[in-house]
C-alpha cells in the first residue's frame, strides 16, 4: 500500500523535542504522524570529478539549474573537502568512514582487498532495515559494487563501447589505440580509452549516465509502493573523462565564450614535488604526450566538454528530483549530493586531480533534508568523512564507533554552531603499492591558509613545504613557506598537521 508522505511541520516538531538520532537512534521518528513511522528514504547522488563550478557556488558561466535548485531547497556546504583527490581513495574513505592512511586506502586497490570486513555506509543502513539499491559509479571498482550491493547494483547497459563511445569512428579509434598503446595502465590495455571527448547528436540515454537515470527512475516507482525505507545511490560518471555527452549540451557552450584558466603556470616557489604530468588526460587519443603543453584551441575544447558534461549530469539530476516530487516521496527523502574531488582545467598548467591544491581537494556537498533550513549556506570547514555519520544520525540509526569524521547535523540546524577548525587532505605521489616508499603530501586547510608537508612514509622527514595564504592568494599562485616572516605560522600549522594525524585533535565536540 502506498504510504502517506511525512509533513515538513511534523519533522520540525520532532527536532524541536530534541529527539536527535545520536541520542534516540531507534525513536527519532516516533513523533511523526501516527500513520507514518518509517525512517526517511535516502537518495545519494555521487558525481565523478565534479568541482564546485556550479551556479550555486557562484559560477555564472555554468548551466546547472537543477543542482542550484537542490541547494536552494537544502543546505550547501561552501567549504567541503575530500580526504584524497582521486576517485578510488576518496570514495573508499567516504563510504567506509576511515581516512586514507587506515589500511592504505590511499592506493588504488579495491576496498574489498584493503578492508574486507569494512562496515560501510550502505552495509550499516542495510543492517538497520534499509533496502539498498545502486547504479553507476558509487565505489570505484566493480568488485566493490558487487560485494557491497550484490544484485542490488545495476550496471547500465547500452550500445556504447569502452569508456562510453557511441560513434563508430571513435569506437574504431579506441580499438586501434588499444593495439598501439597496450600498456597505458596496470591492466595491460588502453582500458577502453579513445578520444578525450565525443560530440554526438544522440539522446541522453545513449550514454551510461542517461541510462543510469532511467534505471533509477524505474526503481523509484517501485519504491513508491513500498513500506520499507530505501537507500538509493546513483553514481554519475561525468564530468569524468572522456567528455562524451550529447551534442545539445555542447551547443550550450559556444567555443568563442570559453575562457582559459587564468593561472596556467606552477606557483611561484613551487617545490620539485608540486608538478604533476596529468597522464590521466595524456593517455587519451589525440592528447599531447610526454611533457608537451596543451594547445589553446584543444584546451578550450576540453573546457567546453567538461562544462557540457556538468550540464548533462545536472539534467539527469533534475529528472530524479522531478520524479521524487511526482511520486510524493520528496517530503520523506534525505538527499545528499557530493562530487568525489575537484579537478583542474589548466590551472597551474595541469589537468585533472592528483595534487594537494585547493582546486583538487575542494568539492561540492549539498544536503536536502526534511525539516532543515532551505537555502542555507555553511561556511564551516567540513570533510567527506563527515558524510557517513551525518546520514546515520539523520536516519535514526547507530553511528559506528570506527568513524573518523563528525556528524554535520549541528551545522544543518545552525550554520554558526561550534565546529572543528581545519580540514585534512592528503596525496601520495610515488609508489602507492609500496607503503615504505610512498612520498605523501599531507595538507591542512584552515580558515586562511593551506599548508602542505611532503613527507616520506614511515619517517618524520619533511622533504618540502608549501604555504598558501587564501586571504591574499585564493588561487594558490605563490608558495610562501620559505618566507622568514612566516616561520611562526609554519610552526603552528605543522604542529596542527602533526604528520597527517592532527585531525584527531580537531574533531568536533
Task: Delineate the domains of the chain, giving CATH numbers in brackets.
Answer: 8-17+37-413 (3.40.720.10)
Output the average pLDDT for the chain: 90
pLDDT of residue 15: 35
Q: pLDDT digit string (tens) for 368-396?
A: 998 887 899 999 999 999 999 999 999 99
Judge contact between 344 and 357, C-beta under 8 A: yes
Query: Which residues pair with residue 358 across a beta bridge?
Result: none
Percent of the chain clearing pLDDT 90 (strictly above): 83
pLDDT of residue 434: 60
Block residue for cell numbers 559560477: 59
Query: Which residues pair with residue 388 across a beta bridge?
Result: none
Pairing between strand 365-368 and 333-339? Answer: antiparallel
Residue range 182-190: mean pLDDT, rounded: 54
Catalytic residue among 33, 56, 82, 140: 140
pLDDT of residue 81: 98
pLDDT of residue 432: 53
Confidence label for 303 from pLDDT (cuts 50, 70 and 90): very high
Q: pLDDT digit string (tens) for 446-455?
A: 999 999 999 9
Q: pLDDT digit string (tens) for 469-496?
A: 999 999 999 999 999 999 999 999 999 9
- Reported as half-sphere exposure (CB side, CA atoms, 13 A), residue 155 has a value of 12
Q: How many angstroms separate the CA atoms of 190 and 22, rounded?
A: 47
- Contacts of 326-331 with C-beta under 8 Å, sequence gap 24+, read 327/220, 327/221, 327/224, 328/5, 328/224, 329/5, 329/41, 329/220, 329/223, 329/224, 330/5, 331/5, 331/6, 331/7, 331/8, 331/370
- What is the DSSP-derived secondary structure letter of residue 357? S
Q: How many angstroms separate the CA atoms of 208 and 299, rounded?
A: 25
Q: Classify each residue of 50-89 as buried b or exposed e, where b means 16 or more C-beta atoms within 10 Å of its C-beta.
A: bbbbbbbbeeeebbbebbbbbbeebbbbbbbbbbbbbbbb
Which cell numbers in the block locate residue 250? 555542447
- Give the torsion through C-alpha atoms of 54, 417, 495, 491, to 10 deg: 70
Tell me the C-alpha to C-alpha distance, in Å, between residue 366 and each of 136, 171, 469. Answer: 20, 37, 26
Judge contact between 273 and 479, C-beta under 8 A: no
Give, rounded to a whole angstrom, the gap between the first and last alpha carbons of the chain: 43
User: Is residue 6 over pLDDT 90?
Assistant: no
pLDDT of residue 335: 98
Handedness of CA 129, 130, 132, 138 (dihedral sign): negative
Looking at per-residue confidence, does 30 or 253 come out higher? 253
Rounded to 5°, angle at Cα 96 from 144 and 152: 40
User: Is residue 85 over pLDDT 70?
Assistant: yes
Q: How many angstroms separate the CA atoms of 386 and 405, rounded?
A: 4
Block residue for cell numbers 599531447: 288
Residue among 401, 394, 340 nearest 367 (CA): 394
Which cell numbers in the block locate residue 439? 612520498
Asked if 362 is an active-site residue, the reply is: no
Catalytic residue among 33, 56, 82, 87: 87
Confidence label for 20 from pLDDT (cuts 50, 70 and 90): very low
Asked if 341 is an active-site residue, the reply is: no
Confidence label for 468 from pLDDT (cuts 50, 70 and 90): very high
Judge contact between 238 and 282, C-beta under 8 A: no
pTM of the model: 0.91
pLDDT of residue 190: 56
Q: pLDDT digit string (tens) for 273-292?
A: 998 889 999 999 999 998 89
Amino acid at each position: 500500500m502506498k504510504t502517506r508522505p511525512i509533513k515538513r511541520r511534523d519533522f520540525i516538531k520532532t527536532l524541536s523535542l530534541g529527539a536527535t538520532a545520536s541520542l534516540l537512534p531507534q525513536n527519532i521518528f516516533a513523533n511523526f504522524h501516527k500513520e507514518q513511522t518509517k525512517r526517511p528514504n535516502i537518495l545519494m547522488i555521487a558525481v565523478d570529478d565534479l568541482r564546485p563550478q556550479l551556479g550555486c557556488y557562484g559560477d555564472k558561466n555554468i548551466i546547472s539549474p537543477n543542482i542550484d535548485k537542490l541547494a536552494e531547497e537544502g543546505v550547501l556546504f561552501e567549504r567541503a573537502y575530500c580526504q584524497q583527490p582521486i576517485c578510488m581513495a576518496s570514495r573508499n574513505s567516504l563510504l567506509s568512514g576511515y581516512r586514507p592512511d587506515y589500511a592504505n586506502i590511499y592506493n588504488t586497490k579495491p576496498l574489498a582487498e584493503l578492508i574486507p570486513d569494512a562496515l560501510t555506509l550502505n552495509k550499516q543502513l542495510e543492517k538497520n532495515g534499509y533496502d539498498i539499491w545502486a547504479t553507476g559509479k558509487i565505489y570505484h571498482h566493480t568488485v566493490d559494487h558487487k560485494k557491497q550491493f550484490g544484485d542490488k547494483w545495476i550496471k547500465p547497459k547500452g550500445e556504447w563501447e569502452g569508456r562510453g563511445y557511441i560513434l563508430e569512428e571513435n569506437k574504431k579509434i579506441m580499438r586501434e589505440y588499444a593495439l598501439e598503446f597496450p600498456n597505458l595502465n596496470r591492466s595491460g590495455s588502453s582500458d577502453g580509452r579513445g578520444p578525450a571527448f565525443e560530440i554526438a547528436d544522440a539522446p541522453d540515454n545513449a550514454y551510461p549516465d542517461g541510462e543510469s537515470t532511467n534505471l533509477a527512475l524505474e526503481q523509484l516507482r517501485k519504491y513508491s509502493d513500498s513500506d520499507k525505507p530505501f537507500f538509493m545511490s546513483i553514481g554519475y560518471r561525468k564530468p569524468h573523462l572522456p567528455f562524451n555527452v550529447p551534442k545539445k549540451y555542447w551547443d550550450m557552450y559556444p567555443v568563442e565564450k570559453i575562457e582559459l584558466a587564468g593561472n596556467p603556470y606552477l606557483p611561484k616557489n613551487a617545490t620539485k614535488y608540486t608538478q604533476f604530468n596529468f597522464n590521466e588526460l595524456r593517455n587519451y587519443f589525440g592528447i599531447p604526450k610526454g611533457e608537451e603543453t596543451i594547445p589553446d584551441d584543444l584546451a578550450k575544447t576540453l573546457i567546453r566538454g567538461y562544462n557540457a558534461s556538468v550540464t548533462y549530469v545536472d539534467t539527469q539530476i533534475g529528472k530524479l528530483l522531478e520524479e521524487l516530487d511526482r511520486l510524493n516521496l520528496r517530503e520523506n527523502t534525505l538527499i545528499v549530493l557530493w562530487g568525489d574531488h575537484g579537478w583542474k582545467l589548466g590551472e597551474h598548467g595541469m589537468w585533472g586531480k592528483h595534487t594537494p591544491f585547493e582546486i583538487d581537494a575542494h568539492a561540492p556537498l549539498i544536503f536536502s533534508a526534511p525539516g532543515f533550513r532551505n537555502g542555507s549556506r555553511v561556511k564551516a570547514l567540513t570533510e567527506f568523512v563527515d558524510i557517513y555519520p551525518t546520514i546515520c544520525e539523520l536516519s535514526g540509526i547507530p553511528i559506528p564507533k570506527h568513524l573518523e569524521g563528525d556528524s554535520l547535523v549541528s551545522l544543518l540546524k545552525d550554520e554558526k554552531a561550534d565546529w572543528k577548525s581545519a580540514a585534512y587532505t592528503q596525496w601520495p605521489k610515488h609508489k602507492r603499492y609500496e607503503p615504505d616508499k610512498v612520498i605523501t603530501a599531507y595538507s591542512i586547510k584552515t580558515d586562511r591558509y593551506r599548508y602542505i608537508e611532503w613527507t616520506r612514509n614511515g619517517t618524520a622527514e619533511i622533504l618540502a613545504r608549501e604555504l598558501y595564504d587564501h586571504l591574499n592568494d585564493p588561487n594558490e599562485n605563490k608558495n610562501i613557506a620559505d618566507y622568514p616572516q612566516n616561520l611562526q605560522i609554519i610552526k603552528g600549522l605543522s604542529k596542527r598537521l602533526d604528520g597527517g594525524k592532527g585531525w584527531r585533535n580537531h574533531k568536533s565536540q
